[in-house]
Structures are given as structure tokens and as C-alpha cells.
């Protein structure tokens, strides 16, 4: 793995980002993450490499036949800034370990609110999904109204703090689903693939799908090129509808 991945930060949505802050194996450990998976599978043989061709063939065999425990030997730790509308779905994946920013300890900033660039319409055939978007004029008006609401809410929040109200109580003035929070989130490669399979799907909500796509393209694929290739071949392509 390229050591430059550690500390790399990628912008997501209007004010969000995701950053890789640690990984197992560490880039300086002298073994690639893909090889760490292969070595774990060969534990009975002291985990020795048999050369790139045979190592990659074994890794593909593992994923193709659902021998997934070796993939748990690789872990990613991210620092993520995302609105609560994203976290509300992310925490459903309980194989992640989380530690979240708390509004009890730090005050929110005036710009800590999510403003969607496009207002999507409700899907007619799916109660939990969107489909299409409103016209340009309506989009602009809804954005203006939302920004006005944020300003009013933040003004009330600021006044409460100035009046000596505790941070934990003053935050009730803030719109809940749109506030940005920063979390530290950790997961192993096996469970990350499950998360990516679900959250990169076309029917996943946009506000979490863009984070999953960012993890896949900017961190998972560069760190685990063999695994990403097998994941695409045996999992992602197998779930695509026939043309």
C-alpha cells in the first residue's frame, strides 16, 4: 500500500470529507494488505508467500468461495465528517466501531449544516427512495428557505450559549438531520466489503452512497488492489441486473 494514503483527505458532499488515519497492516510493516490476507489463510504453513501469481490466485479463491475470515485481518480507521442524515444510516452497520464528536464538549460553527445541491423528488414506486429532481427555480427557492432556516436556528443557538445555557441543551435549537459531525470509524476489510456492497448500490440514499463510493475508489482499491478486483468480479458484478 502507498504510505501516502495515510492522512489523505477526500472532500464529500458540500462540507464533508473522509480521511484514512490508520490501517492494519501499517504501510511501513513491509507487507501489503492483500498479502496479509493471503498469509492469514496460510497460517498452518507459517504464512509464507508463494509468489504473486499463486498468492493472488489464493486470494481470489478465498473470496469466490466465501472464506472470509482472512479478510478480517486487514483493518481501516477513518476520520469522517458527514451530516447526521448520513450517520443515521451508517450506524446501522454495527460491525463498524465508532467514536463521535459531541456537541456537549464543542460548540457548533455557523457553517456546520448540510445544503443539498439538488432537491430530489419522492419516488412513486418506493416509499424510502427518491427519483428525479425538482425544476431549477424550485431548487433555488428551497435552498434559499433552508439556508434561512439554518441562520435562524444558529442565531437562537448562539443566543442560548451567550445566555449561559449549556452546550448540551442549547443544541436543541439546531436542525437535527442536517448538522455535520466528525466521527472516527474503524472496520475490517471483510465487513467493509459488505458495507460497500449495500451502500454503493443504486438504490442507496445519495448522502451515504457518495461516502461509500469515496472509500471504495480512494482507499479500498489503492490499499487492496487484488481484493478490490476480486470484490468487483465476484460480488459487485454478480448483483448487477442483466443487460
Residue pLDDT, tens place only, 140-197:
999 999 999 999 999 999 999 999 999 999 999 999 889 999 999 999 999 999 999 9
Instruction: CATH number of the domain at 45, please.
Output: 3.30.1360.170
Do strands 120-122 and 9-12 pair parallel, antiparallel, or not at all (unpaired)?
Answer: unpaired
Q: Both 93 and 9 in a single domain? A: yes
Place of cell 470484490: 231
How many domains does one find in the chain?
A: 2
Q: Both 40 and 145 in a single domain? A: no
110 located within any domain: no
Judge residue 41's burial from the number of C-beta atoms within 10 Å of its C-beta, 0-12 exposed, 13-18 middle, 19 or more buried: buried
Catalytic residue among 81, 171, 199, 209: 199
Q: Both 161 and 189 in a single domain? A: no
227 located within any domain: yes
Q: Both 166 and 230 in a single domain? A: no
90 located within any domain: yes
Using an 8 Å Cβ cutoff, are 78 and 193 in contact? no
Separation between Cα atoms, residue 91 and residue 166, nearest integer Å: 27
**The CA-based dihedral angle spanning residues 198, 75, 9, 16, taken in that order and rounded to the nearest 10 degrees:** 40
Range of the domain at 58: 3-99+179-239
Is the confidence at residue 242, as pLDDT, over 60? no
| Poorest-pLDDT segment among 13-27, 45-59, 82-96 | 45-59
Question: Is 209 an active-site residue?
Answer: no
**Strand, helix or coil at 182?**
strand
Residue 2: the pLDDT is 64
Q: Both 191 and 147 in a single domain? A: no
**pTM for this prediction:** 0.91
Using an 8 Å Cβ cutoff, are 27 and 5 in contact? yes
Higher pLDDT among residues 48 and 135, named by residue: 135
Amino acid at each position: 500500500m502507498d504510505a501516502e494514503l495515510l492522512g489523505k483527505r477526500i472532500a464529500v458532499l458540500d462540507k464533508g470529507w473522509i480521511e484514512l488515519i490508520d490501517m492494519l497492516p501499517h504501510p511501513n510493516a513491509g507487507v501489503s494488505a492483500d498479502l496479509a490476507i493471503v498469509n492469514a489463510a496460510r497460517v498452518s504453513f507459517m504464512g509464507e508467500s508463494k509468489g504473486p501469481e499463486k498468492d493472488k490466485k489464493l486470494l481470489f479463491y478465498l473470496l469466490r468461495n466465501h472464506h472470509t475470515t482472512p479478510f478480517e485481518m486487514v483493518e481501516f480507521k477513518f476520520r469522517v465528517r458527514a451530516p447526521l442524515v448520513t450517520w443515521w444510516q451508517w450506524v446501522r452497520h454495527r460491525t463498524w466501531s465508532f467514536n463521535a464528536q459531541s456537541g456537549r464538549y464543542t460548540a457548533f460553527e455557523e457553517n456546520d449544516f448540510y445544503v443539498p445541491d439538488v432537491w430530489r423528488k419522492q419516488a412513486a414506486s418506493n416509499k424510502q427512495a427518491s427519483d428525479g429532481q425538482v425544476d431549477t427555480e424550485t431548487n433555488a427557492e428551497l435552498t434559499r428557505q433552508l439556508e434561512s432556516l439554518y441562520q435562524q436556528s444558529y442565531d437562537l443557538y448562539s443566543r442560548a450559549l451567550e445566555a449561559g445555557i449549556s452546550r448540551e441543551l442549547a443544541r436543541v435549537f439546531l436542525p437535527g438531520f442536517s448538522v455535520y459531525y466528525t466521527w472516527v470509524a474503524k472496520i475490517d476489510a471483510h465487513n467493509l466489503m459488505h458495507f460497500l456492497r449495500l451502500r454503493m448500490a443504486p438504490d442507496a440514499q445519495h448522502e451515504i452512497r457518495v461516502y461509500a463510493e469515496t472509500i471504495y475508489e480512494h482507499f479500498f482499491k489503492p490499499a487492496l488492489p487484488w481484493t478490490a478486483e476480486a470484490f468487483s468480479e465476484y460480488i459487485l458484478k454478480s448483483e448487477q441486473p442483466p443487460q
